[in-house]
């Protein structure tokens, strides 16, 4: 099928719940992807932060090939070797003692919310079930994770949201403290808001949240679905502030491109779940775990954390050069290779122009151009993007 027929059938047969650009991508390698007509694109979006190792990394391919010839699926009624090994690797490299595997970030956050509620009820009674979340957050699109998400545009048409959530401004300790009540059991927060516009809190924010949780016997849940697995230059973003959560959620790049999510917790909190408390048919699938292990080992062994910091700093410096030339660029913010450029008009047209010129970028909150390239991106690719953006911006200004 040619491009037009594929798009025609996509629109005809798929549920119309995604905005899709008129591009059919069929192949990927490293930082590049190609469409059905053979056009090359440099990927600065990574499937919204999912392919941190780029496309079709040879070690992930090898791990998946080996596993697919061994065991593709078995239920969680049995012990699963790749699942155990993946859990060990995550525990050895994080604050956590235990791991629950699922399939996505939304599912991981659902598990975190359930665990926090049950933990609190088991210890403090039935009236402690509320979770405090932050405005502008994004925790997923299932009903509990959507209720934790504080973006009213995403709630529209699906109300009422699940009861038991309170919302406070991001990066505002005073309002958070005022909102804590006898009903509060946990605070859920992204260390950096991703979909909300790459919003970075002030230094010390996570430490202060940790302090509030300790003072009030609350659990701190960090949603690292986007910030985790090296995206910010550390394996997990909480390491920048040397703060440990009680629960952390992961997904996106956890499987190197294969679908997997995880909820990590301390022993004290995790033991709240007992057989029958929660589950996921495909959670911890051998194939996804094999891919995840390969991906995590590559991140740790091939200096990708260092590259994320180094190239991320270079990237921001180059974007600052554009900011000095174009007054419609209102702000630049980022950490590692999670970068946002705020402009004073809708960014969709810029995303489309970038695609025409062979670059894939993303726009969130209508006016934030978001850059989430693979962690092995180099300065050469950044320079190509900056030159192209300069060309587009020059055209917009004239």
| Per-residue burial over 351-361, b = 16 or more CB atoms within 10 Å of its CB, e = otherwise | bebbbeeebbb
The kind and range of the H/E element at 188 are strand 184-189
Specify whether the backbone of 256 is left (phi greater than 0), alpha (psi in -120 to 50) or beta: left
Task: Tell me, yes or no, if 138 is annotated catalytic.
Answer: yes
Q: What is d(CA 98, CA 277) in angstroms, rounded to the nearest whole number?
A: 15
Task: Tell me, yes or no, if 223 is annotated catalytic.
Answer: yes
Paired strand residues for 279:
none
Q: Are 287 and 64 in contact (CB under 8 A)?
A: yes
Residues 304, 310, 313, 319: is their CA dihedral positive or negative? negative
Catalytic residue among 138, 170, 273, 371: 138
Nearest-5° angle of CA 198, CA 205, CA 213? 120
Catalytic residue among 43, 252, 273, 393: 252
Q: What is d(CA 312, CA 364) in angstroms, rounded to the nearest whole number?
A: 19
Residue 391 CB partners (closer than 8 Å, separation 6+): 357
Q: Are 218 and 187 in contact (CB under 8 A)?
A: yes
Position of tokens 């970028």?
361
- For the annotated catalytic residues, the residue numbers are 138, 223, 252
């Amino acid at each position: 099928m040619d491009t037009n027929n594929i798009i025609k059938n996509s629109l005809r047969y798929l549920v119309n719940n995604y905005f899709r650009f008129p591009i059919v991508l069929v192949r990927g390698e490293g930082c590049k992807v190609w469409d059905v007509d053979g056009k090359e694109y440099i990927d600065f979006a990574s499937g919204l932060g999912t392919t941190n190792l780029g496309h079709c990394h040879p070690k992930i391919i090898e791990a998946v090939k080996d596993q697919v010839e061994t065991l593709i699926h078995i239920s969680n009624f049995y012990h699963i070797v790749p699942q155990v090994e993946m859990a060990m690797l995550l525990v050895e490299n994080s604050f956590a003692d235990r791991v629950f595997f699922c399939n996505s970030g939304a599912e991981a956050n659902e598990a975190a919310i359930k665990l926090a509620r049950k933990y609190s009820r088991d210890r403090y009674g039935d009236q402690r079930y509320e979770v405090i979340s932050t405005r502008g957050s994004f925790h997923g699109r299932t009903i509990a994770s959507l209720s934790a998400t504080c973006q009213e545009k995403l709630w529209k048409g699906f109300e009422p949201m699940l009861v038991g959530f309170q919302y406070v401004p991001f990066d505002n300790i005073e309002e958070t403290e005022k909102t804590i009540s006898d009903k509060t059991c946990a605070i859920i927060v992204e260390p950096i808001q991703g979909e909300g516009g790459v919003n970075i809190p002030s230094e010390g924010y996570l430490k202060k949240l940790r302090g509030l949780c300790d003072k009030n016997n609350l659990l701190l849940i960090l949603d690292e679905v986007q910030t985790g697995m090296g995206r910010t230059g550390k394996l997990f973003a909480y390491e920048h502030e040397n703060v440990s959560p009680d629960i952390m959620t992961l997904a996106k790049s956890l499987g190197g491109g294969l679908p997997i999510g995880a909820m990590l917790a301390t022993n004290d909190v995790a033991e709240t779940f007992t057989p029958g408390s929660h589950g996921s048919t495909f959670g911890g699938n051998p194939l996804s775990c094999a891919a995840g292990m390969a991906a995590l080992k590559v991140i740790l062994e091939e200096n990708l954390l260092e590259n994320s910091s180094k190239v991320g700093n270079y990237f921001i410096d180059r974007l600052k050069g554009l900011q000095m030339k174009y007054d419609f660029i209102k702000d630049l913010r980022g950490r590692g290779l999670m970068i946002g450029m705020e402009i004073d008009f809708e960014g969709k047209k810029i995303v489309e122009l970038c695609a025409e010129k062979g670059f894939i970028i993303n726009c969130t909150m209508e006016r934030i151009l978001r850059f989430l390239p693979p962690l092995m991106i180099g300065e050469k690719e950044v320079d190509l993007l900056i030159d192209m953006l300069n060309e587009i911006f020059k055209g917009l200004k004239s």
